[in-house]
Amino acid sequence: MTTTQLTQHYSQQFDADLNQIRNQVAQMGALVEEQLQHALIALQSSTPAQAKEVIANDYKVNAYDVDIDEQCTRILALRHPTASDLRLVLAVIKTTADLERIGDEAKRIARMAAHINARYTGSNLNNRIEHLGRQVGTMLHRTLQAFMQLDIAEAIAVAREDDRVDREYEGLMRESMTYMMEDPRAIPKLMDIIWSARSLERIGDRCCNICEYVLYFVKGKDVRHISLEKIQQTFAG
């Protein structure tokens, strides 16, 4: 076998390794998205059985995280990637870490759902938490699409959605405080709603992180701690 053939074989195998970890990230993302959807259904319908199923399935998310991390470590050790290949591996490592934490937040929401025996019907909070859940669920779905398609325009657009999520969360918190003052007996149930809303707000933040990794991989620029306005100016056109 010639040196050229060896090089081609090496490159083809390297490409296959990179494609494999990207595909696994897509599978992990689909699982995390499903976990969040089921946790929200359990929260909205007060179904402890489904909540417990989400909690029980969290180990699958963790298994993906460990497996992908091991593969990335092996690639770094054996392949010594450079330039965009190195950025891809680093972006994958960071993305899976955030997906694992989103899975943790979905599990936390499921635990809150398991505590709630009946929905709190004395307020508009049920509608608020449901709306917030839909916003964050859509944000997660679009984030995963942006990652797989390496779509920087979509990544920036999704990151902008976090402002709406934050406003919705803040409004829900203010309304919760009002109901607590009016009816202290409802505090335990309201706290479950508040903690669930907090988890959703954190998932929105994690989605923003993943969008930043997309920009880092495609453009080679670390945009953490940079305002959205500055990011848009940097990547205009």
Quote the pLDDT of residue 203.
Answer: 98
CATH number for the domain spanning 161: value is: 1.20.58.220
Segments forming the whole domain that contains residue 57:
3-234
Tokens representing 123 are: 């307020």
Tokens representing 106 are: 């979905």
Closest residue by Cα to residue 99 from 166, 149, 31, 164: 31
Quote the pLDDT of residue 5.
Answer: 47
Return the number of other C-beta atoms located less than 10 Å from residue 237's C-beta.
2
| Torsion from C-alpha of 139, 140, 144, 146, nearest 10 degrees | 20
With cut-offs at 50, 70 and 90, classify the pLDDT of residue 7: very low
Q: Where does residue 80 fall: left (phi above 0), alpha (psi -120 to 50 degrees), or beta otherwise?
A: left
Quote the pLDDT of residue 1.
Answer: 47
Is a pLDDT exceeding 90 seen at residue 6? Answer: no
**212/225 Cα distance (integer angstroms):** 10
Quick check: 156 and 228 in contact, CB under 8 A? yes
Q: Tens digits of per-residue pLDDT, 129-172?
A: 999 999 999 999 999 999 999 999 999 999 999 999 999 999 99
**23/21 Cα distance (integer angstroms):** 5
**56/52 Cα distance (integer angstroms):** 6
Higher pLDDT: 184 or 95? It is 95
Return the number of other C-beta atoms located less than 10 Å from residue 85's C-beta.
16
Closest residue by Cα to residue 53 from 26, 27, 34: 34
pTM of the model: 0.89
At residue 79, what is the residue type?
R
At residue 110, what is the residue type?
A
Overall domain count for the chain: 1
Q: Tens digits of per-residue pLDDT, 61-73?
A: 999 999 999 999 9
Closest residue by Cα to residue 231 from 178, 170, 155: 155
Tokens representing 38 are: 């089921």
Q: Tens digits of per-residue pLDDT, 71-94?
A: 999 999 988 898 889 999 999 999
